[in-house]
Amino acid sequence: MIRTHSKTKRSAFIVAAGLAAVTALAACSSSSDGGDGGGDGGSGPVTILTNFPVLMAGSFLASIPMIILFVVFQKNMLEGIASSGIKG
């Protein structure tokens, strides 16, 4: 993590990070066989595969702390909601 207190340094860092990302993408897509990165000499599309089981497992693990907090503070939450709805 990089902390800067100057806006010029921060914007320079953002620009440098953007240029690095563009350079990395260009390096991945350019090659001597045709430019598709596939290695077969053709000019077909680049396929990106998403590992959905790992993505779902990560989402589930990320939701566990929220579920635990809700179970622990459920009584307080419901009392707050109920008291805010009572008039008079």
Query: What is the per-residue pLDDT across 20-39, written as a single tens digit (0 to 9) for each?
Result: 655 655 555 554 444 444 55
Helix (H, G, I), strand (E, B) or coil at 59: helix
Query: In the 8-state DSSP scheme, what is residue 41?
Result: S
Report whether 31 contacts 37 (CB < 8 A).
Answer: yes
Q: pLDDT over 90 for what percent of the chain? A: 30
More confident: 34 or 77: 77
Q: Residue 27 has what pLDDT? A: 57
Q: Residue 35 has what pLDDT? A: 46
**Would you put residue 4 in left (φ > 0), alpha (ψ -120 to 50) or beta?**
beta
